[in-house]
């Protein structure tokens, strides 16, 4: 990768007035969470329609929870990597106005990001699929599956299953950010699955400059991307932060 692309990205971010990041599974691979569809990912071990669809959950919540326990263990063991930390630095410095993530792993918040729109929800809490009561992740009793609410209904994580819509508040927040942003940093996602695929189009429609950080080319690369940095996020984003003369130290020292 030519240093000039890192330097251009740094200059573009410096010149922007309302930069936003859109992240996907690729940013968390370096934290030990494989892309769901990659070898070793959840969907290589569990059929997504058999375990990831809301209809499957409602037909047999105990069976789906076997996959959810596996997923929960993986998320709990993961730690933020330098890419998450670099985005937190950019927000701390007032350059990045927020992160829209398709991930449910909460690694952005754990790295220090404060404005995070969780497009597909999160795993920090669960709710009853019957009465809607919420409980923190720590209160889940996983000895007998599925864990149940006091009303008897099955509890489910607060993330989006296949067959469900994006939470309205998250979609409205993301749309608001896309309407305002003048630079969109797309990290670790091809952004080809609707409705997340609409977000880069919304930003480009408003004239935003699109920087894509992904080791591979995606459908975005030729159609929407203005600057493609073909490096893993954990290398590219800290390099951009360094090129801006910023410290990766969480305290800004």
Q: What is the pLDDT of residue 2?
A: 63
Q: What is the pLDDT of residue 207?
A: 96
Range(s) of the domain holding residue 130: 35-77+123-159
Q: What is the pLDDT of residue 199?
A: 95
Q: What is the pLDDT of residue 251?
A: 60
Active-site residue (options: 84, 108, 120, 122): 120
Has 120 been annotated as catalytic?
yes
Whether residue 247 is found in the same domain as residue 151: no
Whether residue 238 is found in the same domain as residue 138: no
CATH of the domain at 192: 3.40.50.1220
Q: What is the pLDDT of residue 174?
A: 97
What's this model's pTM, rounded to 2 decimal places?
0.93
Whether residue 171 is found in the same domain as residue 196: yes
Whether residue 130 is found in the same domain as residue 235: no
Whether residue 62 is found in the same domain as residue 173: no
Whether residue 174 is found in the same domain as residue 200: yes
Domain's final residue, options 159, 178, 213: 159
Instruction: Show pLDDT as tens, one digit a residue, over the chain (253 residues).
Output: 567 999 999 999 999 999 999 999 999 999 999 876 666 677 678 888 899 999 999 999 999 999 999 999 989 899 999 999 999 999 999 999 999 999 999 999 999 999 999 999 999 999 999 999 999 999 998 889 999 999 999 999 999 999 999 999 999 999 999 999 999 999 999 887 788 889 999 999 999 999 999 999 999 999 999 999 999 999 999 999 999 999 887 565 5
Token reading at 238: 């800290």
Whether residue 145 is found in the same domain as residue 238: no
Whether residue 131 is found in the same domain as residue 70: yes
Q: What is the pLDDT of residue 98?
A: 97
CATH of the domain at 45: 3.30.1600.10
């Amino acid at each position: 990768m030519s240093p000039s692309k890192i330097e251009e990205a740094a200059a573009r971010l410096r010149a922007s007035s309302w930069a936003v990041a859109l992240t996907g599974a690729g940013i968390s691979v370096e934290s030990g969470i494989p892309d769901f569809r990659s070898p070793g990912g959840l969907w290589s071990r569990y059929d997504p329609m058999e375990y990831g669809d809301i209809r499957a959950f409602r037909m047999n919540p105990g069976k789906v929870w076997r996959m959810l326990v596996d997923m929960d263990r993986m998320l709990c063991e993961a730690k933020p990597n330098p890419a998450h930390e670099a985005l937190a630095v950019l927000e701390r410095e007032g350059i990045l106005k927020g992160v829209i993530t398709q991930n449910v792993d909460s690694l952005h918040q754990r790295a220090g990001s404060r404005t995070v729109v969780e497009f597909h929800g999160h795993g920090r809490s669960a709710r009853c699929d019957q009465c809607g009561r919420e409980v923190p992740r720590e209160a889940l009793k996983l000895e007998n599956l599925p864990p149940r609410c006091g009303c008897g209904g099955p509890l489910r994580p607060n993330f989006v299953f296949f067959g469900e819509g994006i939470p309205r508040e998250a979609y409205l927040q993301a749309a608001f950010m896309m309407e305002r942003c003048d630079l969109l940093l797309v990290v670790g996602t091809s952004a080809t699955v609707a409705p997340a695929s609409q977000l880069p189009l919304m930003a480009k429609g408003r004239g935003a400059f699109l920087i894509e950080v992904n080791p591979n080319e995606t459908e975005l690369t030729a159609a929407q991307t203005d600057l493609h940095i073909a490096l893993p996020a954990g290398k590219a984003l800290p390099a951009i932060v360094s090129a801006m003369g910023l410290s990766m130290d969480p305290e800004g020292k």
